[in-house]
Amino acid sequence: MVRKKPLETSIRQSNINEMKRTLGYVQLTFLGIGIIIGTGIFVLTGKAAAENAGPSIAISFLVGAVVSGFTAMSYCEMSTMVPITGSAYSYSISTMGEVFGWIVGWDLMLEYIVGASTVASGWSAYTMSFFAEVFDVHFSVATTKSPFTYKNDKFVVNKGSYINIPAIFITLAVTGVLLVGIRESSAFNMVIVIIKLTAILLFIFGSLKFINRDNLSPFVPPHKNGQFGALGILKGAQKVFFSYIGFDAISIASQEAKNPQRDLPIGIILSLTICTVLYVGTSLVLCGLAPYSTLNVDAPISFALSKYPNTKYLQVLVNLGAVAGLTSVILVDLLSQPRLFMAIANDGLLPQFFARLHPKFKTPFYPTLLGGVCVAALSGFLPVELLGDMTSVGTLFAFLFVNLSVIILRRTDPHRHRDFKVPLGPYIFPVLGSIISIALIAVSGTSTIIRLFVWMGIGLIVYFGYSMKRSKISQFIEENELILAEQQTKGSGF
């Protein structure tokens, strides 16, 4: 259970990698932006301002960026030391042992599949709203909404709803792009991210003339009923923190990066920086357009713009940007999931067919297809709200283990070359990142934590019943010892 995959084995596997290395730091940065900027910037900014921090929600975004940056530094260090797909799973299995790697990998499976399902449902709702507002085209609820929802820990039947066809369509369409190849997937992602960024920038600069400075005063509203003031800024930071947690998907693509030791840290840091600037700029402009107390609506940007004449084009662009934003999130989630499956299968913990690459496209064909079908089924028929919150908690578990990996490796393998090192040593940023991850897990809803532990329990049953017996980690350890022995023999001249 605690046998560790040698780092040298991961490095050798990366060097003999058959996947196409076509991603530079620009493409990796776009992957990060693609998954970080989604509903958060189009919905969460208004709600967090109205409920928690007022105009100072911009400060909350800065705090959230700094907090997530602690863990981002750990990802940067680990991704240069273990340049292989699998992200937090690969780091954990090499530093803490097989069962810990499995737990992280099992949690990440849930994050990517259920996360993509939740976003696909949101994509359907945004797209239907876009057609209604722009083209006055209305679609039947029977074919555009899931037959069930899950609210307040209870199942609710949506009368007259039978299937969410748009959610199924976008899932299968994105899956088709991903099956063709990483170059095509990256190019598609760059196009939709450019659309998303253009919409956001046009909103920011096109709305400056409408800003009412009175709406930004007081910038930090006085404390009231446990909200606003300094405490409100912190509560807002807790809420918007989840807007940043997608950057771990960048490290999943390490085997398709041209120069992972250089490009992965640049992609992670650049994507976080760019997204922070956009979050802060959007929140300031939004709060300047309308009183923050009025922004607790599903589409706060469109709501604020509707107060001003001749802004219909901006509302259309923002809605288009939201649709593009959700599309890119689905794409990166569905890109990450099969690569995680492939990494776990390469270590023998999942069936080997998950590790096979398509002979022509060099993509993990079978897990990509399986993941797409699962996400289509979830988003089309089932109440994904049941598991939606678990995606964030699963990611926080991964964050915790990555931070711990940095601390452990600095002690157990201090002399290993590191192309990137966490600033200020292994006991400041990684420890802070670990504490914050634990705290955010602890404040999650009780039912969410229970469901997470149920999922982990199922994962342990799979591990003990299948994975532990078929693991290749002992084989990797023996091979690595033989290689080291041969090298020592050659070095001694015998």
Is residue 134 predicted with pLDDT exceeding 90?
A: no
Fold of 7-150+159-484: Amino acid/polyamine transporter I (1.20.1740)
Cα separation, 381 vs 163, in Å, equals: 6
Max avg pLDDT among 223-232, 233-242, 320-329, 340-349 = 340-349
End-to-end CA distance of the chain: 37
Which residues, other chains included, contact 109 with Cβ-Cβ below 8 Å and sequence gap of 6+? 337, 340, 341
Question: What is the Cβ-side half-sphere exposure of residue 422, based on CA atoms within 13 angstroms?
Answer: 28
pLDDT band at 39, cuts 50/70/90?
low
How does strand 154-157 pair with strand 148-151? antiparallel
Cα separation, 239 vs 52, in Å, equals: 9
pTM, two decimal places? 0.88
pLDDT band at 272, cuts 50/70/90?
very high
Task: Give the pLDDT confidence of 448-486 residue by residue, as tens digits.
Answer: 778 788 889 999 999 999 999 999 999 999 998 888 888
Can you read off the two tokens belonging to residue 433?
Answer: 């990142």
Enumerate the domain spans of the chain: 7-150+159-484
Is residue 387 predicted with pLDDT exceeding 60?
A: no
Query: Helix 365-381 to helix 98-135 angle, to the nearest 10 degrees?
Result: 50
